[in-house]
Chains A and B, each alone.
Chain A
Amino acid sequence: MNTTGISDTARRIRREIIEMAYRSGGPHVGSALSCADIMATLYDGVLRLEPWEQRDIFILSKAHAAMSLYAALAIKGILDAKSLESYCRDRGALPAHLDRFSAPGIECSAGSLGHGLNIGLGMAYGFNRQRCDRRVFILIGDGESQEGSVWEGALFAPRLGLGNVTVIMDYNNLQGYGRPREICGFEPVQAKWEAFGWQVVLTDGHDCQALLRALTAASDGRPRIVIANTVKGKGVSFMEDQLIWHYYTVTTEHHDRALRELA
């Protein structure tokens, strides 16, 4: 798909996020919006999903952004779009964090940070051992890389090669309590991952063309991390780069304003 199509998918994902957050009264709108372009690029232009049995795997490790994945899966027809209506609601179909038994296309249960990367490494080794060319993509948050388990995986993966792994860091520079550098900084992030033996690619996380280029570049045999610079709340002016939109819930007024911006 061309990048205009991908951008349109991203806009639709954002609209669905606003609708889900509004209906459920749940938080994490900013976190979901920040990775909408990444999600659209993956599902429209990167992941090989046919035949389904041999598909690439996408693991959303920062699963508090589940709305973004649910929306992408619904737009692709993998998940029943009707189930979005009961996201994170009493007797609903989709929980706020991921349960792989809840709906098709959820490859991995998640919610506690610092699990998805390591599960993805296991899957990637499994595919290599089975001599199949399935690939694994894992989206982590920037705050998530304060988890020791992320660095356990980062340290270990290059020994196995695992050129079929791509980690994407949604680097929106806001975690639950503020700026990462004020809480527990992990810069220089590029130098750290390179020193661990990873191929590191920096990109604008909202430029679908740049994302597409970064995510489809040929592997050099090492595991790869794409550091995607993003803005939390991207696409809705009054949510952009605002810490409070990690938690705020969407009122009718927010909802109407946001949808006008995302028209």
Chain B
Amino acid sequence: MRNTFIDAVIARGGNDLMIVSGDAGLGVFDEFRREVPDSFLNLGVAEQNMASFAAGLALTGHKVYVYNIIPFLLYRCYEQVRNDICYQKLPVVMVGVGSGVTYAPAGMSHYAVEDLGLAATLPNLTVLSPCDAREAQTAADFTLTAPGPVYVRLAKRGERAIHGTPVPDILQPLVVSAPDAADCAILFHGSIADDVMDAGKLLKERGISARVISLPCLQPLQEDVLLDMLQGVRMVVTVEEHYAETGLGGSVARLAANRRPAWKLRERGIPNRFLHEIHDAGGMRRCFGLNAAALARDIEGWLNDGR
């Protein structure tokens, strides 16, 4: 997903393309650096300078991509992102890798389980969380012509293909599995897609049909389109590798509070605390009930409770 995104940007970017990194992404930009050496800068381990420098490049008419691990892209230099990039409405694309607990067991410093909450505080910022290479491809196309700032939340690589055909519009919710009559809908974004899809299969085996919807664009959320897609279900479950309170779960909860739909909402994400567990990414998901088996079990239980 990461390489698909970067390769698409490099392939289709114009002369105004500038990619800067905060000393991350060894190997990812090798060919680009060889071909157009003045279009890539490693700005070193200095995130404040990185974010402001990117804003300056954009002020001179460049299309700027900033690449880093998410905490060092958004957290360390939050105020530079806020004041210099977003407040000034500059066409800077912040490409963050290591969504959720991708880098587990790297430790809390390297996890990104609250980035969407931070991004949600930034007006003018479009937030994309693609789930596979096809979404990443369309996301790349969108960012190349976006007039304002964009944050792209990526895992790393090797994500399972979810979409069988190209994704036409990255800003819209995308139905990836749509049985005629669904008992529930599962909303997700990003690399948790594999466990969500597997959970859908497990539920189907148990006679429960789930409408599965990917939300690659979390900001702005296409609320009316989403509400239409959710018609007829009695339960909506959000699943994400992020704190649910400040992620998709929170957004959908606000939507439900404002619009009073017929469905009940359940939110599933990383528990809202610092993580001291030592597991790989799969182990972390199991630990927090984000693996397919636990998701299927819990969704089945919630549906039965509601009967």
- Please report A residues at the B interface, Cβ cutoff 8 Å: 99-100, 107-112, 114-115, 117-127, 129-130, 148-149, 152-153, 155-156, 160
- B87 x A125 contact (CB < 8 A): no
Of chain A, the residue at the smallest CB distance from B43 is A156
Contacts of B52 in A (CB 8 A): 115, 117-119, 121-122, 149, 153
Partner of A125, one of B44, B55, B56: B56
Closest to A121 in B: B53
Contact A119 B79 (CB under 8 A): no
Minimum CB–CB distance from B261 to chain A (whole Å) comes to: 38
- B48 nearest in chain A by CB position: A149
CB neighbours of B56 from chain A (8 A):
118-126
CB of A153 within 8 A of CB of B49, answer yes
Q: Across the interface, do B49 and A121 meet the contact criterion of CB distance under 8 Å?
A: yes
- Give the residue of B49, B60, B61 whose beta carbon is less than 8 angstroms from that of A118: B49
Docked Cα-Cα span, A109 to B83, in Å, equals: 7
B88 touches A109 (CB 8 A): yes
| Closest-CB distance, A226 to chain B (whole angstroms) | 20
Whether B214 is near chain A, meaning CB under 8 Å from some CB there, is no
**Other A-B pairs beyond A109-B87, A112-B83, A118-B56, 6, CB < 8 Å:** A112-B79, A121-B53, A123-B57, A126-B59, A149-B52, A156-B53
Cβ proximity bits B15-42 to A, threshold 8 Å, 1 near / 0 not: 0001000000000000000000011010
CB distance from A28 to the nearest CB of B (A): 18
B interface with A by C-beta (< 8 Å)? 18, 38-39, 41, 43-44, 46, 48-49, 51-62, 79-80, 83-84, 87-88
Question: A148 CB to closest chain B CB, in angstroms?
Answer: 7
A148 contacts B59, C-beta separation under 8 Å: no
Q: Which 5 pairs, one residue from A and one from B, show the smallest C-beta to C-beta distance?
A: A122-B56, A126-B60, A118-B52, A152-B49, A149-B48
Chain B positions within 8 Å of A124 at CB level = 56
Separation of A119 and B55 alpha carbons in the complex (Å): 6
**Can you spell out 7 A-B residue pairs with CB atoms less than 8 angstroms apart?**
A115-B83, A121-B56, A123-B56, A129-B18, A129-B39, A149-B80, A153-B53
Cα separation A109 to B60 with both chains bound (whole Å): 15
Chain A residues with CB under 8 A of B84: 109, 115, 119
Residues of A within 8 A of B83 (CB): 109-112, 115
Minimal Cβ-Cβ distance residue in B for A117 = B52
A contacts with B: majority SS: helix
Known contacts A112-B83, A125-B41, A129-B18; is A152 also within 8 Å of B46 by CB?
yes
* CA distance in complex: A124, B52 (Å): 12
CB distance from A15 to the nearest CB of B (A): 31
A155 touches B48 (CB 8 A): no
- Smallest CB gap from A116: residue in B: B52
From A119, which residue of chain B is reached at the shortest CB distance?
B56
> Closest Cβ of chain B: how far from A189's Cβ, in Å?
19
By the criterion CB–CB under 8 Å, are B57 and A126 in contact? yes
Name the CB-closest residue of A to B46. A152
Q: Residues of A contacting B87 with CB < 8 Å?
A: 99, 109
Q: Which chain A residue shows the least CB distance to B47?
A: A152
A115 and B49: CB pair below 8 A?
A: no
Is the Cβ of A149 less than 8 Å from the Cβ of B49? Answer: yes
Establish whether residues A115 and B38, one from each chain, have CB atoms under 8 Å apart when the complex forms: no
Smallest beta-carbon distance A231→chain B, Å? 30
- Complex Cα spacing A148 to B58, Å: 23
Tell me the complex Cα distance, A156–B41, Å. Answer: 11
| Whole-angstrom distance between the Cβ of A20 and the nearest chain B Cβ | 23
Knowing A108-B88, A115-B52 touch, does A123 contact B60 (C-beta < 8 A)? yes
- For residue A136, give the distance in angstroms from its CB to the closest CB of chain B: 8
- Nearest-neighbor residue (CB-CB) of A153 within chain B: B49
Nearest-CB distance from A115 to chain B (Å)? 5
Complex Cα–Cα for A251 and B264 (A)? 61
A152 touches B41 (CB 8 A): no
| A225 to B257 Cα, complex, angstroms | 55
Q: Which A residues are CB-close (under 8 A) to B60?
A: 122-123, 126-127, 130
Q: Which residues of B contact A111 (CB under 8 A)?
A: 83
Measured between beta carbons, the chain B residues less than 8 angstroms from A160 are 41
Q: How far is the CB of B204 from chain A (nearest CB, A)?
A: 52
| Bound complex: CA A129 to CA B87 (Å) | 25
Partner of B49, one of A100, A108, A130, A156: A156
Q: A115-B52, A129-B18, A156-B44 are in contact. Are A122 and B59 (CB under 8 A)?
A: yes
Tell me which of B38, B48, B54 contacts A122 (CB under 8 A): B54
